[in-house]
Structure 1
Amino acid sequence: MSGSDFPYPLFVTWYQLVVALGLLLAWAHLGKTNPMFSIIPPYECDVEVAKRVAPLTFVYVMMLALNNLCLKYVEVTFYQVARSLSINFTILFTYLILGKTTSQSALIACGIVFLGFAIGSYGEINFSWAGVIYGVGSSAFVALYGIYVQKTLPAVDNNQWKLLHYNTTLAILFLFPVVFMSGEFTEIINTSMDVMYSFNFWVLMTITGVTGFGINIAMFLQVKYTSALTNTICGTAKACVQTILAAMIFQNKISGLNALGILLALFGSGYYGWVRYQERMSK
């Protein structure tokens, strides 16, 4: 999106959700006749259940929107630094929402992550305050997302596929007025209709929607069978791979301080995961 002919992250996010819902409906329909696809139950939408899922959907929409807005304003190599505070927010929200405290070693690891964030931001060549703010906001909602998935699953009988139905449907409804009020629809009509008529453009958009659908399923399963912490740590590992690929594919320039910040953020995240693993093994 950065520097492209279609810099509209909110519309891209909304379309990805539409693709995801289409895949859910198609998969559920195939499951009626083909046992291989029966893992996803038939589509349902109960108003009372939807009300209980709505807080999770709000968190989910904010996570996706801020994530794509961050990508609009920063290089992909800096993206990992801009969103490196997920673990810090996980500790904060775990204490505020669940009332659970964190060990001193884990807090030290979070301090290393924050130091990496500060150094990486200072050393970024194409620094953007907007990108950093969106990145920090996305980190906060990533942390909240893992917590709220666990809190919301009982509302759908602990069935992650039902939760995915409700979450995706509500997210489309929640995000549409945001896209409209942001002015993106008007700008698209006025400046980007040539791009909208391109077949390759819609193929690429659909591929991103399919990929996002797969990632969302993986996140649901991961949080259900592990924890919000594991989801956060795996997100950091993903960001590490993402940074390396971005440097290789997009040839983004990385300053010495930026590289140090990335390494510190990754080291702090890894150390935090090791500390929490040791704590669990000692119980």
Structure 2
Amino acid sequence: MLSTTQLQVFGVVAFYMSAALVMVFVNKAVLTSDPDLPLVFLLLQLLIAVALLHLSALVSKSVEIPRITLDATKKLFPVVFVNITGLAFNILCLRGVEASFFQIARGLVLPLTILVSWLHTPTNPVSVQIIAASAVVTCGFFLGVAPSAAVPLSSTPSFVSLFYGVLSSLFIAVHAVLIKTSLPYCSNSTIQLAWWTNAGSAVLLLPVVLFAGEFSVLQNKLYDGQWNATVFLYGSLITGIFGFLLCIAGLLSIRVTSPITHMFSSAARSVLQTLIGVAYFGDLINTNRAASILVILGGTMLYTWIKAAEAKKPPQPAPIDLEAQETDKLDLHDDGKE
């Protein structure tokens, strides 16, 4: 019989996996149905998430909506800008690739995160093992995007879609670094930071949607009696709700589970995502793509195992400074004489 702690871990992992899978496949269904409204779709998701945060604040005192100040706005602008840019490239990438290929297209998240973290704090050395794990993931990415005669032209992702995937991975990596430096400006509250990133991203995205002409496209669709808006509207509502839940699920997963458990759940989700993509969307999986997914997962789990092993190492004692000890002895001796 499972203990209470084991049940909590199982529940959180299942919750996280379910929310993440729903987000990917409902996003893909909407983008397949209405590929010309990706930014409007993203804007609705952000607004729904903000509305749910305000509703949660009314229900629970533990959810606190931050006060909007000019100082906080200036300091949090970088993390908000990087967040919405990454989300935009993310959804544009998903629009152009198959659901099962999406994880390959964004396969450089780990190597780029390691690189960006090192560039941000070059004083922190990166071990050879970490570099090796990063190299494995990078090889998996190039294995998946390499041209294959077994893949028909209709199933081959365009260069632009792959470019969006790489940019999405880069901005996710930068976002991960900026979160650490941005939390102090939100009273170290992840909920307040979630509000800032969602609300701020919606504000920054609005003029882009106007400039891209997607509101005009939406208006034409609304006046077109032949447009079936069911998938778009329900998809926006579902992804907005599950985007909010995914934020909570991610926090719970990090708090309740270990990094290794979290990584293995992500690996299991990737496998399920591939199987569902093949079964529901008819995605094509050839030897290259299957091997790519396995290599990326293997490199990611190797990285997690290395980091967990490094965390368990006892701290190294500070080197003994014999010269300083001799100086201290002389100082004590002089004090005694006086």
TM-score (norm 1): 0.87
Per the alignment, residue 39 of structure 2 pairs with: 10
CA distance in 2, matches of 1:2, 1:202: 12
What is the correspondence of 1:53-202 to structure 2 with a 5 Å cutoff? 53-99=76-122, 100-122=124-146, 123=148, 125-191=155-221, 193-194=223-224, 198=229, 201-202=232-233
Whether the 8 Å CA contact 1:120–1:257 is kept in 2: the answer is: yes
Whether the 8 Å CA contact 1:142–1:232 is kept in 2: the answer is: no
How far did residue 146 of structure 1 move?
1.7
Q: 1:205 aligns with which of 233, 236, 246?
A: 236
CA distance 1:105–1:42, shift in 2 (3 Å): closer
How far did residue 232 of structure 1 move?
8.4
How far did residue 22 of structure 1 move?
0.7
SS in 1 for 2:64: coil
Per the alignment, residue 70 of structure 2 pairs with: 47
Which one has the largest radius of gyration? 2
CA distance 1:64–1:253, shift in 2 (3 Å): same
**Which ranges in structure 2 are unaligned for 5 or more consecutive residues?**
1-29, 315-338
Per the alignment, residue 23 of structure 2 pairs with: none
CA distance in 2, matches of 1:237, 1:97: 31
CA distance in 2, matches of 1:177, 1:231: 37
How far did residue 181 of structure 1 move?
1.4
Per the alignment, residue 259 of structure 1 pairs with: 290
Query: Is the deviation greater in 259-268 or in 71-80?
Result: 259-268
CA distance in 1, matches of 2:72, 2:258: 23
Whether the 8 Å CA contact 1:83–1:135 is kept in 2: the answer is: yes
TM-score (norm 2): 0.74
SS in 1 for 2:84: helix
Per the alignment, residue 273 of structure 1 pairs with: 304
Whether the 8 Å CA contact 1:86–1:139 is kept in 2: the answer is: yes
How far did residue 234 of structure 1 move?
6.9
CA distance in 2, matches of 1:223, 1:50: 27
CA distance in 2, matches of 1:152, 1:230: 27
User: What is the root-mean-square deviation in Å for CA atoms of aligned residues?
Assistant: 2.8
CA distance 1:42–1:90, shift in 2 (3 Å): closer
Q: 2:274 aligns with which of 240, 243, 259?
A: 243
CA distance in 1, matches of 2:267, 2:164: 17
Deviations 1:209-252 (A, max 9, x none): 11111223344566789999998887666444422322232221
Same amino acid, percent of matched pairs: 30
* Letter aligned with residue 165 of structure 2: G
CA distance 1:108–1:228, shift in 2 (3 Å): same
How far did residue 269 of structure 1 move?
1.0
**Which ranges in structure 1 are unaligned for 5 or more consecutive residues?**
31-36
* Letter aligned with residue 265 of structure 1: I
